[in-house]
């Protein structure tokens, strides 16, 4: 119904309707002038206490029909209908296969393991650039780079010289690999852990209200000391990045990394038991948003609500980030609402409140180049997802629906990359598949 409604030009229709309205108003005005000057005879019967009834003649004007009022009501209804159609307009996206790679133990395959009927050691995000898929081999500490045809292009890591395969290898001594990020200029950032040991108290506990319902993660959140290795497109080491930039203290738990062009990088991580977002240019720290510095946790709302940080997502230009908080009732420990604020880097107070969400299934998903942000909303018991599109001021302007083909359990993480592409990872019949949504 709504799609059909959008086939006509509303502005043209409104212009034509306005002309017709003016014609009717002019006609009504002329009619009113004529009727005001035309007396109508009304016979009125009155009674005196001591006489018989007397009949009098009075001249009364007849009120014109309220044309203008009816027209205003019609226009208001049409504008309201147009607004609702925009709000509920949905672009149905379809998954398109970008590449599929065989899962197995061979050097050319994606290393995966089945534990309790669940496939683990498979990355939950796959960076892609120039038709190349960058995949972590956790068991062997390799970064395997595939073409979208599924063939292995080259390997980064300490690869045996005698592998009996004609595979290009960029030798780089790596420890236990974590996350990867690739820029549009083919700069590669690798989380390189120093140790493989994990203390039980260091495992991050996920906030169930902060993850979108399609989130699928088979790895523990390990707070192991690590650095970021910055490699150029030829695999040459450029620098080693710590929390404060080059050659500084190591990272601990890293939740996400974003690599942009012009040698820019954003890292959302945990430091001193607090989450923070760091922004780097030329591998030097230029700004951050730190959970422990935000004044919202001591705001008047903190009297009635326990305020929890959900996530911090940067805009690629590095001038601001969106910060999402959940408000949990202190009396009943139930989710009440979520707020999304705009924060400038190094600020402790928000620049503005952009959105308040009433349902726990509505999660901040991403921010694109045009400064629009997306809210993840689960539909149909997880079989589909609606992405609410909001402009930079928080106005709901569009929707995108992702309908996952059955079986839903084969679909893993869905994410948006730094170039505003939406991807989903799927495992099927022994293959790891990457899809884009268009």
Rounded Cα gap, residues 388 and 365, in angstroms: 9
Give the residue extent of every domain in the chain: 1-33+68-89, 91-437
CATH code, 91-437: 2.120.10.30
| Spatial distance between the Cα atoms of 83 and 29, rounded to a whole number of angstroms | 31
Whole-number pLDDT of residue 336? 98
Q: What pLDDT is stored for residue 163 in this prediction?
A: 63
Determine the Cα angle at 361 with ends 358 and 363, to 5°: 85
Three-state SS string over the chain comes to CHHHHCCCCHHHHHHHHHHHHHHHHHHHHHHHHHHHCCCEEEEEEECCCCCCCEEEEEEECCCCCCHHHHHHHHHHHHHHHHHHHHHHCCEEECEEEEEEEEECCCCCCECCEEECCEEECCCCCCCEECCEEEEEECCCCEEEEEECCCCEEEEEECCCCCCCCCCEEEECCCCEEEEEEECCCCCEEEEEECCCCCCHHHCCCCCCCCCCCCCCCCCCCCCCCEEEEEECCCCCEEEEEECCEECCCCECCEEEEEEECCCEEEEEEEECCEEEEEEEECCEEEEEEEHHHCHHHHCHHHHCEEEEEEEEEECCCCCEEEEEEEEEECCCCCEEEEEEEEEECCCCCCCEEEEEECCCCEEEEEECCCCCEEEEEEEHHHCEEEEEEECCCCCEEEEEEEECCCCHHHEEEEEECCCCCEEEEEEECCEEEEEEEC
pLDDT digit of tens for each residue in the chain (438 aa)?
A: 444 334 344 445 545 555 555 665 565 555 555 445 544 444 344 444 434 444 444 444 445 455 556 666 656 555 555 444 455 689 999 999 999 999 998 889 998 877 776 778 888 899 999 999 999 999 899 999 999 899 999 999 988 766 667 788 898 889 899 999 999 999 999 999 986 443 333 334 444 444 554 444 444 455 789 999 999 988 899 999 999 999 899 999 999 999 999 999 999 999 988 999 999 999 999 999 999 999 999 999 999 999 999 999 999 999 999 999 999 999 999 999 999 999 999 999 999 999 999 999 999 999 999 999 999 999 998 999 999 999 999 999 999 999 999 999 899 999 999 999 999 999 998 999 999 999
Query: Is 144 in contact with 102 (CB distance < 8 Å)?
Result: no
What's the predicted TM-score (pTM) here? Answer: 0.76
> What per-residue confidence (pLDDT) applies to 89?
83
> What is residue 352's predicted lDDT score, i.e. its pLDDT?
98
């Amino acid at each position: 119904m709504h799609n059909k409604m959008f086939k006509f030009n509303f502005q043209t229709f409104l212009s034509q309707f306005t002309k017709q309205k003016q014609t009717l108003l002019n006609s009504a005005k002329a009619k009113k002038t004529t009727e005001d000057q035309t007396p109508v005879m009304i016979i009125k019967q009155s009674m005196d206490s001591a006489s018989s009834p007397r009949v009098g003649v009075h001249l009364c004007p007849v009120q014109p029909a309220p044309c203008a009022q009816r027209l205003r009501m019609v226009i208001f209804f049409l504008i309201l209908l147009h607004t609702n159609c925009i709000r509920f307009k949905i672009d149905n996206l379809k998954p398109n296969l970008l590449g599929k790679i065989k899962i197995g133990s061979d050097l050319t395959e994606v290393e995966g393991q089945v534990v309790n009927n669940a496939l683990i050691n498979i990355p939950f995000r796959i960076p892609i650039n120039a038709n190349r898929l960058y995949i972590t081999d956790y068991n062997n500490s390799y970064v395997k780079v595939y073409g979208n045809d599924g063939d292995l292009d080259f390997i980064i890591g300490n690869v045996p010289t005698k592998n009996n395969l004609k595979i290009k290898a960029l030798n780089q001594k790596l420890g236990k690999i974590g996350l990867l990020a690739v820029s549009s200029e083919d700069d590669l950032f690798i989380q390189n852990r120093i140790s493989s040991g994990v203390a039980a108290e260091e495992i991050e506990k996920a906030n169930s209200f902060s993850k979108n319902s399609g989130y699928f993660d088979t790895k523990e959140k390990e707070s192991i000391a690590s650095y970021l290795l910055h490699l150029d497109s030829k695999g040459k080491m450029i620098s080693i990045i710590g929390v404060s930039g080059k050659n500084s203290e190591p990272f601990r738990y890293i939740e996400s990394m974003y690599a942009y062009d012009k040698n820019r990088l954003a890292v959302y991580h945990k430091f001193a038991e607090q989450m923070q977002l760091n922004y780097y240019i030329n591998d030097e720290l230029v700004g951050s948003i730190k959970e422990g510095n935000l004044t919202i946790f001591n705001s008047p709302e903190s009297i009635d609500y326990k305020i929890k940080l959900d996530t911090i997502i940067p805009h690629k230009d590095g001038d601001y980030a969106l910060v999402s908080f959940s408000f949990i009732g202190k009396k009943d420990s139930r989710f009440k609402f979520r707020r999304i604020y705009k924060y400038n880097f190094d600020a402790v107070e928000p620049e503005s409140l952009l959105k308040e969400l009433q349902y726990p299934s509505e999660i901040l998903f991403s921010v694109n180049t045009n400064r629009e942000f997306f809210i993840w909303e689960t539909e149909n018991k997880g079989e589909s997802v609606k992405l609410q599109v909001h402009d930079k001021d928080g106005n709901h302007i569009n929707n995108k629906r992702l309908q996952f083909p059955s079986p839903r359990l084969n679909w893993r993480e869905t994410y948006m990359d730094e170039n505003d592409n939406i991807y989903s990872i799927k495992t099927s019949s022994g293959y790891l598949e990457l899809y884009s949504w268009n």
